[in-house]
Amino acid sequence: MVRTFGLDDFILLLIGLQWTLAIAAVAFVGGIIGGLVVALCRVSPKRLVRLPAQYLIEVFQGTPLLMQLFLVYFGIGILGINVSPWTAICVAYTCHASAFLGEIWRGCIQAVPRGQSEAAFALSLSYASRMRYVVLPQALRISLPATIGFLVQLIKGTSLASIVGFTELMRSGQYINNATYQPMIVYGVVGLMYFAVCWPLSFWSMRLEHRLAASTR
């Protein structure tokens, strides 16, 4: 029986939005940890440390996110390990975020003026101390606009999680549309929810970028 879009449907979309934000939060936090490791490996003077991180980034940047989801979700199952869609999605999105954030931060680390590292070296600081106290704080400031911009893309990218059967915002919209046959209303509300979350972050990223550009003039 076809029904019209109502309050219960809107509440269901809000629940889906909560799961969308949960996926993005887990992937972003995991990506921060993994991305920092990848970035530090990418700028390491040791080739054996640098190359694996480079290949990792090339693989994740050179393949679609949907394929990465399929490989994790079905690949783990082939190994005989039963995982829930939630676990597979979190693993796939965390690996994806780690690779992209690692490359963003690698560029920001290398954007720090070389004289800063040379001055720290002249003060007899070790490599770890130079990175911790001199380079990384400056790189973090440079990376904020791009990092927030990636978070926006990550939130929008969570819509692909519906492909492997996880019910987030987009999947909830599909269920409601199948019951109401009102795609303009249903997907219009879904789009507005994505916009309400992503636009403030995009605006914040733009403001930070302008502020950073003004401070370097």
Prediction pTM value: 0.88
Average confidence (pLDDT) over 186-199: 95
Q: Are 164 and 73 contacting, i.e. CB atoms less than 8 angstroms apart?
A: yes
Burial class (CB in 10 A: 0-12, 13-18, 19+), 198: middle
Question: What pLDDT does 1 receive?
Answer: 65
pLDDT band at 78 (very low <50, low <70, confident <90, very high): confident
Q: In the Cβ-directed half-sphere of 108, how many Cα atoms lie within 13 Å?
A: 27
Q: Choose from 30-34, 41-45, 82-86 the range with maximum mean pLDDT.
A: 30-34
Residues 56/38, Cβ–Cβ less than 8 Å: yes
Q: How far is Cα 139 from Cα 137, in angstroms, rounded to an integer? A: 6
Q: Over the stretch 3-40, which tens digit does the pLDDT of each residue have?
A: 788 899 999 999 999 999 999 999 999 999 999 999 99
Run of H or E including 67: helix 65-78
**DSSP secondary-structure letter at 81?**
-
| Sequence-separated (6 or more) residues with CB below 8 Å from residue 59 | 99
Which of these, 142, 111, 137, lies nearest to 208 by C-alpha position?
A: 142
Interval 102-117 mean pLDDT: 85
Q: Is 212 exposed, middle or buried (0-12, 13-18, 19+ CB in 10 A)?
A: middle
Domains of the chain: 7-215 (1.10.3720.10)
pLDDT at position 39 is 93
